[in-house]
Amino acid sequence: MEYLKDGARKLGVKLNSAQLKQFQMYYLELVSWNQRVNLTTITDFKEVQIKHFLDSLSVTIALNHQINDTKIRLVDIGTGAGLPGLPIKIAFPALKLILIEATAKKAAFLDHLKAKLGLNDVEIVVGRAEEIAHEIRYRKQFNIVLSRAVAPLPTLVELALPFCTMNGSFIAQKKGAIDQEIRQADKAINLLGGNLREIKRVNLNEFLDERYLIIIDKTSPTPEQYPRRSGIPAKRPLI
């Protein structure tokens, strides 16, 4: 686990041997289940450490508040195999994590993994973010909203900001040329009650491409009609 351990240290995240063991188990379960359930195209041990685990932990450089606080509630939308939410939970076990995933088979993997790793305060919700965001137990309930590789930013903002508490933040992971995507998200950010605070570059030589964290704070309430019904935020983005 040297690649993960060294990379995490550069991010200021210390992983002890029990945590590294959890990551190792995560890797083994991922590649094992991947033969039956389509979870990832990345299966090489080194690549998973960097492109999945370390990339997930890179989000923590955007989090100023005490992430290891039991009052922190974090939601990961379209989490797939648990990314980026589960690596963050392993590194910061005190926080409360909710994973949202539309595909039941992937959610079954997450249930299995949660038990295998002995994780507490992890809730797995199967369904579409468009619907779950209207349930009162999830709407406006999270200090931190995360989502990786799910949709372009204008769509993502509509799925994510309804989950955010006032003064909470949505952090999107993006790579490559992001200027146009950010400009296109301007309208959605305003409409949904957000404010683009910062675009942070992830500076780790483990990554050969340019990776960014787009940090959007929730500064005013999201109007009740958002998100629109399933599929609409992607089909007719608020651009």
Residues binding ligand SAH (CB under 6 A): 78-81, 83, 100-103, 106, 128-130, 148-150, 159
State which residue, 208 or 235, has the beta carbon closest to ligand SAH.
Answer: 235
Could you give the maximum distance between any two Cα atoms of the chain, in Å? 47
Nearest approach, Cβ of 59 to ligand SAH (angstroms)?
11
State which residue, 67 or 75, has the beta carbon closest to ligand SAH.
Answer: 75
CA distance linking residue 20 with residue 176, whole number of Å: 30
Cβ neighbour number for residue 104 with a 10 Å cutoff: 10
State which residue, 62 or 167, has the beta carbon closest to ligand SAH.
Answer: 62
CA distance linking residue 42 with residue 155, whole number of Å: 26
Nearest approach, Cβ of 157 to ligand SAH (angstroms)?
13
Residue carrying the six token digits 């003064």: 167
Nearest approach, Cβ of 164 to ligand SAH (angstroms)?
16
Contacts of 4 (CB under 8 A, 6+ apart): 15, 20, 23, 49, 50, 53, 54
State which residue, 131 or 219, has the beta carbon closest to ligand SAH.
Answer: 131
Nearest approach, Cβ of 156 to ligand SAH (angstroms)?
10
